[in-house]
Structure 1
Amino acid sequence: MAVTTPAPRPPSLPAHHDPDTDRVVRSGLLQELSYAFGGPFHFLLPARFDANLAAFRTVLEETGVEGRVHYAKKANKAAVWTERCAVHQAGVDVASVGELRDALGNGVRGENIVVTGPAKSVELLRLAMHQSCLIAVDSLDELDLLATMAITGAVGPARILLRCLPPDQPHSRFGLEQEELETALDRCVRAGDALGMEGFSFHLSGYATQPRCDLAGRLVEMCLRARRMGLQADRISIGGGFAVDYSTAEHWHAFLGEQRPEHFHAHKVFQNGDFYPYHSPVAGAEALRAILTAIPRDGHIPLAELLRQTGTLLMMEPGRALLDGAGATVFGIQGVKHRDGYSIITADGTSLSLSEQWFNSEYLPDPLLITPQGPAHPGRTYPAAVGGASCLESDMLTWRKVPLPAPPRPGDLLVYPNTAGYQMDSNESSFHDLPLPPKVVIDRPADRPVWRLDRRPAC
């Protein structure tokens, strides 16, 4: 039964064209894997991770800045990303014993690992010190614990950064206030060789580049002061927050301008501010370039020149930006029911595997409809919302009535593009005893892709 297209047509948000994903979709592999796994799965494209890492390093080289890129491991749990970091001598940012062991188990050297997060456990600190990891200290208590562990000879010495509370985000629960930083510097001096104070770090919410440049400039000045106190203090970390550009400006602004409650199942309402900015004019490695070429507040020269003149190394911890275009999520259509002017699809998994829903938001890039004959060709539009296979009303992969190019049918596939960054496993669970979707690594996208299952080392 054909679904009548309502008037006006619901807005779409097509993702940027991606040749590697297109090759995988056209190959027929996804239908085979869906049959083999009997449920949803993710596919990963490590070559895209390599290209994104290279782009960050190219910006550092072109701006003459000594820097190191650390992959923020929390963005995706797959082992393949830390494998690629090991191959390319890149760093990893971890925040738990499990993440640290995983990085080490995949070949990343301890000195290339940064340990972040609040109130770290003694077990995590001990392992990090044994492996010569760099530890971002978040409190004076943590600093004292590290000093005690090192001075008593249990492990040590400790390599540390002092994490700063951003002045423009004073309500953050992370970082040391200015008075605490003064105390911490004094304690680092008194601790002597037990604490190797290598510099400062921060993490800002949001994606604006100028505030990162401003705070980085301030931290360089703090490094100079710490050096006068006899501390190493030769590096700063600006954290993550490098935006990803999922769609064109035209499509994004049109979507925001056109979307209304009637375009969503059950008239679900999302405020525009709740959506991730799916278009960003400055994204990924180019956001790093914007930070480096800007002049810090109250400064006189670009940040890149300031770093060069002061001999300060720049560290960063991108997650989503290194995973841009590096994976997608595939659901099978298990059932379809028809409502007034649109369909409700039931997928063979749950919205736990598409994490934006669990942050009271919506993953907006349009899913691709794949029929047994291949990708559906554009024609009429058939709006459809997508629900999960659980018994919860809130289990919706897509509340939005996506204008599909063909009527959805059981056995078809929905491919959600560009989900590797924070989407595909941040909140996955085996609800209803459904297995977690496996991850398929596609090492060579081609007419006949070469694939393998992602490997995870024993922890």
Structure 2
Amino acid sequence: MKNNIPTLEPITSPWIDTLTSDFELQNELLDTYNSPLNIHHIRSFQKNITEYTAFLKQYDFKSKVFYARKANKCSTLATVAFESGIGVDTASYAELKQCLDLNINPEDLVLTAAIKNTKLLRLAIQHEVLIIIDNKDEADLIYAICKEENKQAIIGLRISGFEYNSQKLKSRFGFDIDTVSDFILKFFEPEEVKKCIKFTGFHFHLDGYNTQQRGVAIHQTLDLIENLKTYNFKLNFIDIGGGILINYLKDSDQWKTFQEELKKAILEKRNPITYNNNGLGFVQRDGKIEGQLATYPYYNQIFKTTFIKNILDVMGSQNEPVWKRLKDLNIELRLEPGRSLLDQVGITMAKVAHRKKDADGNILIGLEMNMTQMTSSSADFLLEPKMTYAKPDIDKESVAVFFTGAYCLERDFILKRKIKLPKLPEVGDIVTFINTAGYMMHFFETEAHLFKLSQNIFLKDYTRSTQIVDFFRDENNLETNHIYL
């Protein structure tokens, strides 16, 4: 049977290449901050922000980018986003409170939390932060708080249920677009409500990565805005959320080959390339492959600004593209990218704790980390990690391994995929997972077994003489702020 291991080589940046080639610096960082360690690069984040804002400026309509900070918990990134001229999307009390404490202008914040209690809504109302409302109960609670505080709330309404190819795009979030007008007219009928609550625009977020769907949704939202104008509602924005594709991989052929080989393994036409022949979403039934890959689409030809351009070029029923209707109606387009603003911004490093073989002869490399510190909604993280060896020139025979974690769970595998390494690592060698800042480092991180959460540090800039003094901790790791090393 075929035994080769397909490779998925990630795109990297100079700062990543420099750091992952320096074992002594990596070792010093892990000795200082412990394993695992998340390292971030501010200049890469700023570069991504500039790419988005420069692209949108090419269009003659209003626009604003909000960094979705739920993608990464580091407060430093929220501060840099604000200082770089964009807003910050917050999704919890702690996120909002921290941004306010960091003196981020409330006009540059938006609250999109899925669950909003009285404490959270009161904080937003007190500081005049835009609140995206998901349901009538939130609207009623906001009205009650406004009367108590004698303050006006600023809101947008989240909507869903757009029609695409004669089918509804269903979601558990938001008001159905077919019924939201009735809700708006009824809710805002009392003059007292109009005084207490300022309704300023609409918000939506579509699952998946279909740019045509997003363009159609914008057109339908613009139709809704035009209809509400006849009832004297003066709305000024449409926020289309995030979910903007990025490209992680260097080679499209590697991406295709990996999927082909995974299917062959599931059909038992080759040796497994995942632990216990996990299909990562693919299943075998009666000798045929069913299902689909349940991971992020790691290779993409259309991503970031080209992805947005495809949305803006979608034609509507009036034979006009999205961008022209936004301009003509003077509606501001808002985006809430998270992952794509964090492209090339972070890596995660961990030390090798042990090596062993299981009953099937698989080589298991135990790392000083756990699976929650490298977990997202994706079935697996499909990028080749980088090993750094204390003794790189000794014993050059390549090996295929699985990386395992510190939780007492059979399923605590850092990656489900088998990884080919240049040589067997020794205890104390270091593995680096590439491009992990967006939704990988923190989204499901837990403190089971009383393990401490990962430390988060920042590299101000890339230089060829990078030393440990060039790094500083994120404020979230500290009891006191702004401690620099």
Q: TM-score normalised to the size of structure 2?
A: 0.87
Kindly report the root-mean-square deviation, in angstroms, between the aligned alpha carbons of the 2 structures.
2.2
Asked if 1:267 is matched to 2:277, the reply is yes
State the Cα deviation string for residues 391-427 of structure 1 (Å, max 9, x = none): 2111000121101122222111110000000000111
Aligned-residue offset at 1:313:
0.4
Structure 1 unmatched ranges of 5 or more:
1-5
Measure, in 2, the Cα distance between the counterparts of 1:157 and 1:346.
55
Q: Return closer, same or farther for 1:12/1:380 CA change in 2, 3 Å cut-off.
A: farther
Please name the residue that 2:260 is paired with.
257
Measure, in 1, the Cα distance between the counterparts of 2:413 and 2:252.
26
Aligned-residue offset at 1:435:
1.5
Contact 1:223–1:235 (CA<8 Å) still a contact in 2? no
Structure 1 stretch 29-38 or stretch 195-204: which is displaced more? 29-38
State the Cα deviation string for residues 180-234 of structure 1 (Å, max 9, x = none): 4322244235322322111111110111111111101111122222223222211
The AA in structure 1 aligned to 2:210 is A
Aligned-residue offset at 1:8:
2.0
Measure, in 2, the Cα distance between the counterparts of 1:35 and 1:458.
20
Q: What secondary structure sits across from 1:400 in the alignment? A: coil
State the Cα deviation string for residues 19-50 of structure 1 (Å, max 9, x = none): 22112223442121112234211101121111
Q: What secondary structure sits across from 2:350 in the alignment? A: strand
State the Cα deviation string for residues 359-387 of structure 1 (Å, max 9, x = none): 4711110110111257x899753111000
Q: Report matched runs for 1:84-123 at 5 Å.
A: 84-123=80-119
Please name the residue that 1:313 is paired with.
332
The AA in structure 1 aligned to 2:28 is E
Question: Which residue among 196, 201, 208 is the counterpart of 2:198?
Answer: 196
Measure, in 2, the Cα distance between the counterparts of 1:265 and 1:281.
29
Q: How many residues align?
A: 449
Measure, in 2, the Cα distance between the counterparts of 1:166 and 1:52.
31
Aligned-residue offset at 1:134:
0.9
Asked if 1:414 is matched to 2:431, the reply is yes
Question: Which residue among 145, 157, 163 is the counterpart of 1:162?
Answer: 157
Contact 1:380–1:406 (CA<8 Å) still a contact in 2? yes
Q: TM-score normalised to the size of structure 1?
A: 0.92
Measure, in 2, the Cα distance between the counterparts of 1:360 and 1:219.
30
Q: What secondary structure sits across from 2:379 in the alignment? A: coil
Please name the residue that 2:287 is paired with.
none
Aligned-residue offset at 1:165:
1.7
Question: Which residue among 332, 335, 357 is the counterpart of 1:338?
Answer: 357
Q: Report matched runs for 1:19-168 at 5 Å.
A: 19-27=14-22, 28-150=24-146, 152-168=147-163
The AA in structure 1 aligned to 2:308 is L
Aligned-residue offset at 1:341:
6.0
Q: Report matched runs for 1:358-437 at 5 Å.
A: 359=377, 361-373=379-391, 381-437=398-454
Measure, in 2, the Cα distance between the counterparts of 1:46 and 1:331.
21
Contact 1:135–1:161 (CA<8 Å) still a contact in 2? yes
Runs of 4+ in 1 over 6 A off after TM superposition: 376-379
Please name the residue that 1:3 is paired with.
none
Measure, in 2, the Cα distance between the counterparts of 1:380 and 1:301.
61
Measure, in 1, the Cα distance between the counterparts of 2:312 and 2:219.
10
Measure, in 2, the Cα distance between the counterparts of 1:227 and 1:189.
15
Measure, in 2, the Cα distance between the counterparts of 1:379 and 1:213.
52
Contact 2:162–2:170 (CA<8 Å) still a contact in 1? no
Measure, in 1, the Cα distance between the counterparts of 2:394 and 2:216.
48
Question: Which residue among 299, 313, 320 is the counterpart of 1:293?
Answer: 313
State the Cα deviation string for residues 107-133 of structure 1 (Å, max 9, x = none): 321111111133411111111111111
Measure, in 2, the Cα distance between the counterparts of 1:62 and 1:360.
34
Q: What secondary structure sits across from 1:226 in the alignment? A: helix
Question: Which residue among 413, 432, 445 is the counterpart of 2:462?
Answer: 445
Structure 1 stretch 226-235 or stretch 259-268: which is displaced more? 259-268
Measure, in 2, the Cα distance between the counterparts of 1:84 and 1:77.
13
Contact 2:241–2:336 (CA<8 Å) still a contact in 1? yes
Q: Return closer, same or farther for 1:204/1:378 CA change in 2, 3 Å cut-off.
A: farther
Q: What secondary structure sits across from 2:293 in the alignment? A: helix
